[in-house]
Amino acid sequence: MEKVIEKIKPYGEIRIPKGFLDILGVKTGESVELTIADKKVLIEPSKDPIKSLRGLVKLDKETSKKIIESPEFEPL
């Protein structure tokens, strides 16, 4: 297990080394989930619910067009 020491910056910020981000598979601007367990912080790549559902449902062109043109539709 790799370990580094970082100081807490103003507003509670810390720097996560690029090597750690690479191992997690996350890039600048992407979301991560923070969990506290036994006074430890666990950082995991955020699970995108849309991506996990993508490909599970097959829609015909007409239904897809209705969804995209609906007022409730919000593109990613």
In the chain, what are the domains?
10-69 (2.10.260.10)
When pLDDT is averaged across residues 18-33 and rounded to a whole number, the result is: 90
Gyration radius from the chain CA atoms = 19
Q: Is the full-model pTM beyond 0.85?
A: no
Give the separation between CA 56 and CA 32, rounded to whole angstroms: 24
**pLDDT of the residue at 68:** 82
When pLDDT is cut at 50, 70 and 90, the band that residue 58 belongs to is confident
Q: What percentage of the chain reaches a pLDDT higher than 70?
A: 87
Query: Number of H helices and number of E strands within the chain?
Result: 3, 2
Beta-bridge partners for 37: 40
Residues 6+ apart with CB under 8 A from 6: 14, 15
